C-alpha cells in the first residue's frame, strides 16, 4: 500500500537533445489517486517525460516538484532486463509484480502491457484498480487505457507540448476529433472572411481606378487600403490545423502460393523440457489464422515448427509451392546488428527503392544510415514490416506485432492487414487489434 497522499508536478519543463527539442514548456499535475494515460506518437517524448517525473533526468528548464518531498515514486522502464530462462511475458509480469509490491505513492509505467497474455492483462488491470496511489502509464493498448485511466495527456510531436482530455481512450479519441473539427471550421471561416474582404478591397480599388461612382467624393487608393486593412486586422487569425505526416504501411504479396501453404502432420516439437503435440494443422492460401493461449502454452514454439526453424521431434512438415514465408519475430532479432538499416535492405532492393519504401514506414534519410541496433523498439518494428514488404512475402507470420508501435502505426497496420490478400498467422494480446484483424480461424493452445 502506498504511504503518502501527495502530488507530483511537472511545471513548465523543457528538454532538448542537442538541437532537437523533445519537450517544450510541458506542465502536468499528478494528484492523489490519479489515473493518467500518457499518449502520443513514437518520438513525442513520452518516455522522456516519465524519466523526468521519476527524477532519472533533469529538465533544461522548469522543475519537477514532489509534495511532500518524501513522496515515493516508482518507475518501470519500457525495456526490461531479459532473463536467460524467462519468457518475455514472465519477465514483464515479474517486473510489474515487483514495482506494485513496493507500495509507491506514484507509479510511472512505460508500456507495461507489452508481452502480457490476456490473463496477465486482466491481473494488471485489477492490480492498478486496487492501487492506493497514483498511476501515470504510457500504453498503446487502447482497451487497457479505456479500462484503467480517467484522464489522457497527449504529447504533440509538432509543438512538443501537452494537451489534456478527460476520460479513457475512447473519450479522448472522440473529443480530439470534435476539437479538430471545430479548429477546421474556425480556420475555414477565417480564410473565407479574409478572402471576402480582400475581394471587396480589390473591387473598390478597381472601381476607383476606372472612375466609377461619379458624383460622390472619390477615395484615394491609400484610403481604400487603410479601410480594408482595418477590416482584415479585425478578422480572427487561426493557424491551419497541423497535418501530421501519414504513415503508409504497404503490404502486398509479390505472387500467390499454392492452395496449401504449410502442413504439419502428427508433429511433435520440443523446447527443453517443454513438449508440444502431436498435432495436425493445415494452413491454406488466404487464411487469417490467430494463435492464442497463455504465456508458456507454446505459441512461439508452434511458429518455430511452422517456419521450419525448429526441427520436429516426430511427424512431418510440408511447405506448398510458391510459398514465401516472412516473420516479424517478437524480439525483432533480424534488426539488431551493427549494419546500417540501408545495408539490411540492399539484398532486397536498390538504394533508391529502399529509401522510398522506408520513408513510407516513417524511416527517413537520417534513419537509414543508422546501425540497426541503434533503432528504437518502435522503429525496429516498422523496419521489420518494411523488410517483409520488400521481400514480397505471401505468408506473414506476426508475433506480437503491436509491441512498441504507437497507436497511429497500429491503426495503419490494421488497415494494411485488412487489404493484404496473402496468408497471415498472428499472435497478439492486443484485444482491439485482434478484433480488427477478424481471424477466420483461431487455434487455442
Secondary structure (3-state) at 297: coil
Per-residue pLDDT tens over the stretch 16-57: 988 888 999 999 999 999 999 999 888 788 999 999 999 999
Mean pLDDT of the chain: 85
Of 17-31, 126-140, 240-254, 390-404, where does mean pLDDT reach its minimum?
240-254
Domain assignment present for 253 = no
What is the spatial distance between Cα 283 and Cα 307, in angstroms, rounded to a whole number? 12
Report the pLDDT value the prediction gives residue 80, as an integer from 0 to 100.
Answer: 66
Instruction: Label residue 85 by pLDDT band (50, 70, 90).
Output: low
pTM over 0.85: no
DSSP state of 334: G
User: Which residue has better confidence, 8 or 385?
Assistant: 8
Q: Indicate the pairing of strand 61-67 with strand 106-110.
A: unpaired
**What is the per-residue pLDDT for 433?**
93
Q: Judge if 96 and 220 occupy the same domain.
A: yes
CA trace torsion 14, 18, 22, 23 (10° rounding): 10
| Number of domains making up the chain | 2
pLDDT the model gives residue 289: 94
| First-residue to last-residue Cα distance in the chain | 36
CA-CA-CA-CA torsion sign (110, 111, 116, 122): positive
62 and 6 share one domain: yes
Same domain assignment for residues 410 and 355? yes
Select from 304, 272, 293, 279 the least CA-distant residue to 444: 293
Least confident of 75-89, 123-137, 188-202, 391-405: 75-89
Q: Are residues 284 and 192 part of one domain?
A: no
Residues 6+ apart with CB under 8 A from 198: 228, 232
Q: Note whether 193 and 265 are same-domain residues.
A: no
Taking 80 as the threshold, does the pLDDT of residue 355 lie above it?
yes
Judged by average pLDDT, the poorest of 99-108, 218-227, 314-323 is 218-227
| Model confidence band, residue 67 (pLDDT cutoffs 50, 70, 90) | very high
Pull the grid cell for residue 244. 501530421
Task: Quick: pLDDT tens for 326-350.
Answer: 888 877 777 777 888 888 888 788 8
Residue 218 pLDDT grade (very low, low, confident, very high; cuts 50, 70, 90) = low
The domain in which residue 185 lies consists of 1-244
Average pLDDT over residues 66-92: 80
Q: At 296, which CATH number? A: 3.40.50.300
Contacting residues for 418 by C-beta, under 8 A, at least 6 apart: 436
Amino acid at each position: 500500500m502506498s504511504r503518502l497522499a501527495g502530488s507530483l508536478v511537472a511545471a513548465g519543463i523543457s528538454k532538448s537533445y542537442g538541437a532537437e527539442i523533445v519537450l517544450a514548456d510541458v506542465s502536468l499535475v499528478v494528484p492523489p489517486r490519479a489515473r493518467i494515460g500518457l499518449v502520443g506518437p513514437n518520438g513525442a517524448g513520452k518516455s522522456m517525460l516519465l524519466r523526468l517525473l521519476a527524477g532519472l533526468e533533469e529538465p533544461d528548464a522548469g522543475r519537477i516538484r514532489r509534495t511532500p518531498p518524501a513522496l515515493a515514486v516508482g518507475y518501470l522502464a519500457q525495456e526490461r532486463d531479459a532473463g536467460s530462462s524467462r519468457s518475455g511475458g514472465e519477465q514483464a509480469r515479474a517486473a510489474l509484480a515487483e514495482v506494485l509490491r513496493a507500495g509507491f505513492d506514484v507509479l510511472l509505467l512505460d508500456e507495461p502491457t507489452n508481452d502480457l497474455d490476456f490473463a496477465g492483462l486482466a491481473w494488471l488491470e485489477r492490480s492498478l484498480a486496487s492501487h492506493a496511489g497514483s498511476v501515470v502509464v504510457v500504453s498503446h493498448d487502447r482497451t487497457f487505457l479505456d479500462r484503467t485511466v480517467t484522464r489522457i495527456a497527449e504529447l504533440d510531436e509538432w509543438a512538443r507540448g501537452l494537451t489534456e482530455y478527460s476520460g479513457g481512450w475512447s473519450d479522448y479519441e472522440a473529443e480530439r476529433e470534435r476539437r479538430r473539427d471545430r479548429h477546421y471550421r474556425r480556420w475555414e471561416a477565417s480564410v473565407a472572411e479574409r478572402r471576402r474582404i480582400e475581394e471587396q478591397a480589390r473591387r473598390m480599388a478597381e472601381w476607383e481606378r476606372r472612375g466609377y461612382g461619379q458624383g460622390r467624393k472619390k477615395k484615394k487608393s491609400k484610403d481604400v487600403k487603410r479601410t480594408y486593412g482595418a477590416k482584415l486586422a479585425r478578422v480572427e487569425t487561426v493557424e491551419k490545423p497541423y497535418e501530421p505526416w501519414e504513415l503508409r504501411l504497404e503490404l502486398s504479396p509479390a505472387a500467390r502460393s499454392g492452395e496449401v501453404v504449410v502442413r504439419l502432420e502428427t508433429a511433435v516439437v520440443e523446447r527443453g523440457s517443454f513438449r508440444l503435440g502431436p498435432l495436425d494443422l493445415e494452413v491454406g492460401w488466404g487464411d487469417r489464422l490467430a494463435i492464442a493461449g497463455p504465456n508458456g502454452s507454446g505459441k512461439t514454439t508452434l511458429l518455430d515448427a511452422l517456419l521450419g526453424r525448429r526441427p520436429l521431434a516426430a511427424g512431418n512438415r510440408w511447405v506448398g509451392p510458391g510459398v514465401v514465408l516472412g516473420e516479424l519475430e517478437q524480439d525483432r532479432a533480424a534488426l539488431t546488428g551493427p549494419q546500417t538499416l540501408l545495408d539490411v535492405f540492399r539484398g532486397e532492393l536498390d538504394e533508391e527503392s529502399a529509401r522510398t519504401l522506408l520513408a513510407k514506414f516513417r524511416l527517413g534519410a537520417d534513419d537509414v544510415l543508422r546501425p540497426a541496433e541503434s533503432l528504437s523498439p518502435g522503429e525496429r518494428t516498422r523496419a521489420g514490416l518494411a523488410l517483409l514488404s520488400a521481400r514480397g512475402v505471401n505468408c506473414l507470420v506476426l508475433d506480437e506485432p503491436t509491441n512498441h508501435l504507437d497507436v497511429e502505426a497500429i491503426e495503419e497496420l490494421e488497415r494494411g492487414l485488412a487489404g493484404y490478400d496473402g496468408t497471415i498467422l498472428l499472435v497478439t494480446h492486443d484485444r482491439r487489434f485482434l478484433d480488427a484483424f477478424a481471424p477466420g480461424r483461431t487455434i487455442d493452445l
